[in-house]
Structure 1
Amino acid sequence: MAASAKPRYLVYIVSAIAALSGLLFGFDTGIISGALLFIEKDFILSTELKELIVSSVLLGAMFGSLLGGHLTDRFGRRRLMLVIAGLFVFGTIIASMANQVSLILLGRLFIGVAIGIGSYTAPLYIAEISPFELRGALVSLNQFAITVGILCSYLINFTFANHSGSWRIMFGIGLIPALMLSIGMFFLPESPRWLIRQGAIDRAKKILQTLRNKPDVSEEVNYIQQSLQVKKASFKEIFSPTIRPVLFLGAILGFIQQATGINTIIYYAPTIFQMAGFQNIAGSILATVGIGIVNVLATVFAIFYLDKLGRRPLLLIGLLGMFFSLLGLSLAFTLHTDITRWIAMFCTFTYIISFAFSLGAILWLMIAEIFPLEIRGFAMGLAVFNCWLWNFIVSSTFLTLLNSVGPSQSFLIYAAMCVFSFVFCYYKTPETNGVTLEQIEQNIRNRMPLRAIGQPVMSETE
């Protein structure tokens, strides 16, 4: 029993350091919700320019997700994580020291590139170093770190709510986790699966022996090698009949995560709460701290239960919760009573809880599971690009949508998207709990239906 504690401890440490990328992801997407209220005091901002400041990170993330997919397959997961850390440091310095709006946009563009690469490189790295029975919980550490980053950004927003020029400090604090990631990644191993793909078998064995705390890892190595006994991947294979269904699944899951409205809440929470009746800036920002807290707690629930209850049940229950929460939020903005702000706050909290233990955790986990090793980095890059594309579309048009149709109709549109999402996930999303990445890959190459690719591989005698 004592022997099994050590590898779990080591794998958790490795995963936690890699998940600092997720913390920066959450911090740099959440900090803008409060910083924007102070940036507009120093600069003259139109509605379109406000949307651009928020969405400049997303433009960078789209570019990063496309650029990094090929690079992470060619140069390795660990090296890309080091590049990510450097981009976070560089972008944060530019944004926090900016004396004009264009420099804020430039700095956040670099941060966005880092987020775009890191949003799939970190969960991919963690998934590839994890034993299959812990994969769901360990990959979800990245989502947990994202929610912690968002909560930290909200607390920092509130702390500096009454300080002039505080948006510079808000941005600058992001240097701390960025430097921690830079230092930590120097001591972490490369993904053993990526090393085996490169032919570095002995090095991969040594890393697996350390991570698993056992001298014989030949079975796991053989399993990984068997998954590579296919022709070298090409651009054409990404869109081959074998891979196309899972690529479609990853793209639709990314679309669903954004089209159901999560980042309208994350990016514009103080604005929404001000519209609901929290008049002063400090009060509206304080209300968003509550969002950050329930986001973290619900993600902790997901970490503990993804490998026990499975992906599908949590995903479907979460989508139902999001649907009813958005209906309530829409209703709250039609009442115009003294309790409107409290109904809006309650429904926002239940929406965040439902999202956090479902789409929030499961998207990043599932896209790290469903693609064959030979094309995993590039295919994840395409799936994540689609996610960031819809994130950009939704967040960059939200204020315009609010001004055009009002908050009630806006949230009703997102509620309708939850209905579509539930139907799609019910019929198409597989249960990937309890099977290895290589088993999932074999099912994909056997052209099993999407919903069945998470089933254990049956031997010929069975």
Structure 2
Amino acid sequence: MPEIIAATATPERGRVRQPTQVYAVAAVSALGGLLFGYDTGIISGALLYLREDLHLSSQGQEVVVSVILVGAMIGALISGRLAGRLGRRRVVLWVAVIFAVGALGAATAPNTGALIAARLVLGLAVGGASNMVPVYIAEVAPPAVRGRLMVLFQLMVAIGQLIAYLASWLLAGSGGWRVMFGLAVIPATVLAIGMTRLPESPRWLVEHGHTATAHAVLSRLRPRGADITGEITAIHGVAAAAPRRDRRALLQPWLRPALVVALGVAAFSQLTGINAIVYYAPTILSDAGFGQSVALVTGIGIGAMLVVAGISGAIAVDAIGRRRTMLWFMPLSGLAMAVLGLAFLMGDSPAQHWTVISALFVYILCNGIGMQSVVWLIAPEILPLGVRGPATSLATLTVWGFDLLIAVTALSSIHMVGRAGTFFLYAALNVLCLVFVLLKVPETRNRPLEDIERALRAPGSLRRNLATPP
């Protein structure tokens, strides 16, 4: 939050040792991101066996995969509203409990209906985690380490997906999918226990009149000598100046360019095909004759690429900029997807198998760096303070909505136009994404949020306004 940064940046110059509770916050960030990644990624390997055990058709498989995304959309909406009334910490605590309940339900599901219901419950937790854990971290962490904790959360999503692929490989076989789902109970339990020992967000406490408690919390979360009173005063000032959260404010014409960028990037983060690969790669490869063992090992490689992309993307967005990261890596993403489509037109051979696997890895790496590393950054940066809450929620819902679209159409598309046709379609959407970035997305690296808002309000193109030095 910029107002907190302004209030505390001066005392924290240089290398300052952070209090112990800050590292507890880091652990929460890691576990919330890990659960998010694990529960969205585990279905890819589990699907190979539960579709046989439960006799699922292609449409049934799509429902089992996609229902978690319906829950995520609901969870993102509900968690935001509850957090305003109950507090961030309490909502994250309930998210952990819901993760555990959903994992147990999926592991013990006696039939398809029960599995779908359990996956819906897991979706509520995934949506709540993706919405509230970053908010909690941002409002609790000191400015000096806030950035790295947010990067850690994003990285742990990728690590959670990698662990999901590893679990799928180690537990391969009929019935193993139950253990795959059940393993999520362990980090969920640790997250719930950990949250009981962490403080409430100081900003929420101030907004609800608990100033003395907020002062005590900040005293434990800030380095010695930090201006706690000044930070609380800044929070009071911003809370008093913030306008009422009215969704009609999103219709203001001057705001439209920022909404187009935020929602466009959110949509293309899914339309370019990343989760068609994450969710269905083992199924697609197994059905194409690669064998289930090869498909699962390839899934581990995809998980590893997601982690490498997460680390590389975190470096790239600050080193070369948000816009340039997309412009450099999205052409390679589209090219890799096109090569993947061409590979499925080749005859079955070792060369074809290596081409498919190599193209998959290159695609995951380039799309992960070029798009997935930017999608969670661009909306909070480009949307103005007065509507940042509802507008960012709208961008998050756009991510989950288009993720749902991909999840419910990927296998059906393969059956209708074939594997090659489906991947050519995703390649074309990568090209369309590149055109959108060229025309609409500005560079926000090293620009204060106030500069971005002034550029948005100024006459002319937002992209050109931000291209002009401040």
Q: TM-score, with normalisation over the residues of structure 2?
A: 0.87
- CA distance in structure 2 between the partners assigned to 1:388 and 1:223 by the alignment: 34
Residues 1:61 and 2:72 are matched in the alignment: yes
Instruction: Give the alignment partner of residue 318 of structure 2, picking from 293, 300, 307.
Output: 307
Displacement after TM superposition at 1:382 (Å)? 1.9
Distance 1:346 1:421 in 2: 23
CA distance in 2, matches of 1:86, 1:439: 41
Give secondary structure in 2 for the equivalent of 1:4. Answer: coil
Instruction: Determine the structure 1 residue equivalent to 2:435.
Output: 423
Q: Which residue of 2 aligns with 1:160?
A: 171
Distance in 2 of aligned mates of 1:46 and 1:191: 46
Question: Are the equivalent residues in 1 in contact too, given 2:103–2:182 (CA < 8 A)?
Answer: yes
Distance 2:76 2:65 in 1: 18
One-letter identity of the residue aligned with 1:404: M
- Once the two structures are superposed, what CA deviation does each residue of 1:117-160 show, in whole Å capped at 9, x if it has no partner? 22122223333445566554432222211111111111010001
Q: Which residue of 1 aligns with 2:353?
A: 341
Partner AA of 2:395 in structure 1? A
Shift of 1:291: 0.8
The 3 A distance-change label for structure 1 pair 453 and 231 is farther
| Residue identity in the other structure for 1:166 | G
Matched, 1:31 2:42: yes
Compared CA separation, residues 24 and 70, structure 1 to 2 (3 A): same
Is 1:110 aligned to 2:128, yes or no? no
Residue in structure 1 matching 2:201, options 174, 177, 191: 191
Could you say which residue in structure 2 is the equivalent of 1:369?
Answer: 381
CA gap of 1:139–1:218, structure 2 versus 1, over 3 A, is same
Residue 378 (structure 1) aligned with residue 390 (structure 2): yes
Measure the CA separation in 1 of the matches of 2:253 and 2:393. Answer: 19
Change (3 A) 1:174 1:233: same
Q: How many pairs does the alignment contain? A: 456
**Equivalent-residue separation in structure 2 for 1:435 and 1:366 (angstroms):** 12
How far off its partner does 1:304 sit? 3.8
After superposition, residues 10-159 of structure 1 pair within 5 angstroms as: 11=22, 13-130=24-141, 135-159=146-170
Is contact 2:250-2:391 (8 Å) kept? yes
Report the identity percentage.
37
Q: Distance in 1 between matches of 2:329 and 2:211?
A: 41
The residue type paired with residue 252 of structure 1 is G
- Distance verdict in 2 for CA 1:445–1:122, change over 3 Å: farther
2:340–2:355 CA contact under 8 A, matched in 1: yes
Preserved contact between residue 254 and residue 386 of structure 1 (Cα < 8 Å): yes
DSSP-derived class of the 1:161 partner: coil
1:87·1:113 contact (CA, 8 Å) conserved in 2? yes
Pick aligned residue for 1:412 from 418, 424, 441:
424
Q: Would you say 1:234 and 2:246 are equivalent positions?
A: yes
Is the aligned partner of 1:254 residue 2:266?
yes
Q: Secondary structure at the match of 2:410?
A: helix
Query: Which secondary structure state, in structure 1, belongs to the residue aligned with residue 110 of structure 2?
Result: coil
Cross-structure match for 2:188: 178
Runs of 5+ in structure 2 lacking a partner? 1-11
Alignment of 1:282-297 (within 5 A): 282-297=293-308
2:330 & 2:209 partners in 1: Cα distance? 43
Separation of aligned partners in 2, 1:242 and 1:75: 33
SS in structure 2 of the partner of residue 25 of structure 1: helix
Structure 1 253/71 Cα, relative in aligned 2: closer, same or farther at 3 Å?
Answer: farther
Contact kept, 8 Å, 1:65 with 1:117, in 2: the verdict is yes
User: Partner letter of residue 331 of structure 1?
Assistant: L
SS in 1 for 2:297: helix
Q: Is the 8 A contact 2:24 2:198 kept in 1?
A: no
**CA–CA distance in structure 2, aligned partners of residues 354 and 422 of structure 1:** 13
Distance 2:462 2:143 in 1: 20
2-structure distance, mates of 1:85, 1:343: 41
1:169-197 CA distance string (max 9 Å, x none): 01000101111211222233333444444
Task: Report the CA distance shift for 1:385/1:135 in structure 2 as closer, same or farther (over 3 A).
Answer: same
Aligned-residue offset at 1:355: 2.1
Tell me the distance in 1 between the aligned counterparts of 2:39 and 2:466: 34
Deviation at 1:234, TM superposition (A): 1.6
Q: Structure 2 CA distance, aligned partners of 1:251 and 1:110?
A: 26
Q: Which runs of 5+ in 1 are unaligned?
A: none
How far is 1:244 from its partner?
A: 4.2
Structure 1 residue 334: deviation in Å?
Answer: 1.4
Offset, 1:366: 2.6
Partner SS, residue 335 of structure 1: coil
Q: Is the 8 A contact 1:140 1:365 kept in 2?
A: no
Cα distance 1:127–1:438, how it changes in 2: closer, same or farther (>3 A)? farther
